[in-house]
Amino acid sequence: MRRRGAIAAWAIMGVAALVPAAQAPSVHAQTADAPVRLRVLVNPLDVRPGEVLGMIVVLEGSVPEDASVVVRVYDPVTDRSTLRTALAGDAGPTRDRITLALDEIPRTPSGYLDLRIPTTAGPLQRGLLRLPTAGVHPVSIEVRDPATGRPDEPALAEVMTLAHAVGDTTSGADLAVSYVTALTAPPARQPDGSVTFDPAVRDSLTNLVDLMERTEAAFSVALPPEFVEALSTGEDADRALYDRLMASLGTREIIATPAVTLDPATAVRSGLSDTYTTLLRRGEDVISALAGRGGVQRTVQVVNDTLDVGGAVLMRDLGTRSVVVTPRAQAMWDGLVELRDVVDTTSMVSLPLGRDSEMPAALVDPALARRLIDGEGSPSMTALGIVAELLVIRYGTLARLGADVDPSAVPSVLSRRSISLSTPDGRPGRPELLAAVLDRIDATAGLRTVTASQAGATTGLAIANGLTVQLPLPEAAGDDLSARADTLFMLSLDAYTVASMLPEGDPRPTVWSDQVWRLAARDLQTDQVEAGLDLVRRRLEEVRGAVTVPSLSDITLGGRRSTIRLRLRNDATYDIRVAVRLESAKLSFPGGQELVIVPGSSTADVEIPVEVRSNGRFPVAVTLLTPEGDVPLGAPVEFAARATALTGLGQVVTVAGGLVLASWWFRHGRARRRARRAQGVTT
């Protein structure tokens, strides 16, 4: 990887050298009012003392023919603020310089200055630029007019750049740099089946594809699964973007994300934990199927919203072992802690989740994140400053831990260190700048790109005063979607019961399920949710109302055991299954409710066995229900049944009952007469 990056850097120089001379700025003899400007076009950054420091510099404007170029070097910077100050022009006292006659400096075919400055780590020597200390050295390039006569006179033009002097502590081990980019998107597929792509998400995805086509550096991406899936079946331009995305992914690490936007904190707060689990699994399946490989992993997640304890516990239970927290999400600690005072960006912090439980978290450096989107100047030179800042962090870490003078200690120190890069909100920024940064990282001694899971598996926790640095999470965060969650739960149950009415293999239940889970997306507006709910309800009602019981006439039941015949009508064009239930106070139904398949655009007869419990006229209610869940499809239909006589054993029982009653009255009457006669004799 490093060799490829170095080759790429020098290839840029070669391209610059091959630009036709007609495109080069002309340098004429000096004239009054003609401005002189310098800018560095190519700077490979690394130089080993004793080798040549090479740069390509553009000189614009009019200069005297006997002008000279002065290259100055300064002490290596020790911290990030000093680096920015030096690049702004205040680099401190000069430590060495070398002067070259302008007319003796080789030119590229484009007319640019091809500076090749020999260096040394030893004593000062004429004609050699001394770089005695490993580190990032500010370097100034000046164009001077000897006619002014004084060295303290302002230069005709000046530009500040950097040189990285590579030493023993540089080549001992690399500081891992993990770049992550995360894209989320509202559902692209609308409830009515149409597809609408959010323009901002599409632009961000295009930037990501451009980035991956420009560089082979290692980094991790989180994609919006439902959005990508919709692209694959969209219009020509959509499919073209999808094809580019699939081709550029290569072997890069893909971070698992829910199929539609739902963050863990919102899921837990709203009672949607199971939904989040389902959406995460579905998102994995979608991207894995589209990408054609098993490179989707959930061991690391990008946190771009406020996270709470419940959300972090849910992530951990689903397999997440560490998180990368973007600057946008770091706002959750505003007012609670000053992160720059407690956080070492080369280590992780601990997010306590309860007793003896924690989640390691890498915090994206906010200053570097802003520079990834707001960098001024050319991508190459902006990348130079960003990578130089990473090197300064590396050297500062070694110095803080006492490894700056002991090359043998460097590998052990850096093996547990890494830096996480991203933009402020995790979305990909300018692809040309990001590609320049990533390629320059891999081309620079002491740095290398890694995936987020690689960094998460090896990076240790920050220690302060002998204790692990902890950042408490809020007890509760995220949006409250409880009302929507209840509605979606009931609609899912409704869809499940109606699905049992359809033939095996019917695609509609899957469509309904997709429409329901898409409505769990956090970033949907209320009117969008209501429109989706109404559409699904209408689809369910179309199936529910298709089978009816025509009006029934009264019937007569002539025996203790009989049957009731019903006719069902199906107005739909497809077969429908329903359960038929009869209820009556004077009848029993030994077979229970009957399951009936009613052919499409047809009728079906069903015979239901009954047992009569008494004679008379009484009401019977017919209810149609879903096969699963026994949910009524409408109001019961009533008719009257008349039982005319009980026969057989029923008659025997009736006669026997009459004889018993007559015998009782006979014995009771005789006993009363005897009692009256006995009373008369006594008197």
At residue 672 the predicted structure's pLDDT band, cuts being 50, 70 and 90, is low
Distance from C-alpha of 239 to C-alpha of 463, rounded to nearest angstrom: 49
Instruction: For residues 524-533, give the mean pLDDT.
Output: 90
Q: In the chain, where are the structural domains located?
A: 2-166, 175-467, 482-544, 547-647, 648-683
Q: Is CATH 3.10.150.10 the right assignment for the domain spanning 175-467?
A: no
Residue-wise pLDDT for 424-436, tens only, equals: 999 998 999 999 9
User: Is the C-alpha dihedral spanning 18, 20, 21, 25 positive or negative?
Assistant: negative
Token duo for residue 513: 């399920």
Question: If you classify domain 547-647 with CATH, what class do you get?
Answer: mainly beta
The beta-strand segments (E) located in 183-321 are 220-222, 253-255, 296-297, 300-303
CA atoms within 13 A on the CB side of 188: 22
Q: Is the pLDDT assigned to residue 47 strictly greater than 70? A: yes
Residue 571 in this model has a pLDDT that exceeds 50:
yes
Radius of gyration of the chain (CA): 41
Task: Give CA–CA dist 330/350, Å, rounded.
Answer: 14
The bridge status of strand 637-643 relative to strand 616-625 is: antiparallel
pLDDT at residue 655 greater than cutoff 90: no
Which pLDDT tens digit goes with each residue over 410-426?
Answer: 888 999 999 999 999 99
Pick the CATH number of 2-166 from 2.30.30.60, 2.60.40.10, 3.40.50.720, 3.40.1440.60: 2.60.40.10
DSSP label at residue 109: T
- 364, 304 contact by CB (below 8 A): no
Q: Is the pLDDT of residue 395 over 80?
A: yes
Identify the residue with better confidence: 149 or 278.
Answer: 278
CA-closest candidate to residue 624, choices 677, 520, 535, 549: 549
Tell me the pLDDT of the chain averaged across its residues: 86
What count of residues does the chain have?
Answer: 683
For 384, the 3-state DSSP assignment is: helix
Q: What is the mean pLDDT of residues 588-602?
A: 91
Position 32 scores a pLDDT of 47
Q: Are strands 594-598 and 576-583 parallel, antiparallel or unpaired?
A: antiparallel
- Give the pair of three-digit tokens for residue 387: 């990578």
Per-residue pLDDT tens over the stretch 302-334? 999 889 999 999 999 999 999 999 999 998 888
Same fold, 2-166 and 175-467: no
- In 61-147, DSSP assigns E strands to 68-74, 94-101, 113-120, 129-130, 135-144
pTM, two decimal places: 0.82
Give the DSSP letter of residue 472: P
Mean pLDDT in residue range 80-99:
92
* Buried b or exposed e, range 594-605, using 16+ CB within 10 angstroms: bebebeeeeebe
496-502: average pLDDT: 96
Quick one: which of 478, 476, 514, 479 has its CA closest to 495? 514
Q: If you average pLDDT over residues 467-481, what whole number do you get?
A: 89
Q: What percent of the chain has pLDDT over 70?
A: 87
CA distances (Å), origin 454, targets 218, 267, 342? 10, 28, 24
End-to-end CA distance of the chain: 135
pLDDT tens per residue, range 101-131? 999 999 999 999 999 999 999 999 999 999 9
Please say whether the beta carbons of 68 and 45 come within 8 A: no
What's the half-sphere exposure (Cβ side, CA atoms, 13 Å) at 406? 13
Question: 482-513 burial, b if ≥16 CB within 10 A, otherwise e?
Answer: eebbebbeebbebbbbbbbbbeeeeebbeebb
Q: What is the pLDDT of residue 509?
A: 94
- Give the model's pLDDT for residue 29: 40
Q: Look at residue 531 and tell me whether its pLDDT is greater than 60.
A: yes
Sequence-ordered strand ranges (E) for 558-615? 561-570, 576-583, 587-588, 594-598, 602-612
Task: Please give the Cα distance from 208 to 352 (Å, whole number).
Answer: 33
What are the residues facing 357 on neighbouring strands? Answer: 354
Q: What is the pLDDT of residues 160-189, one digit of tens each?
A: 999 999 988 777 689 999 999 999 998 998
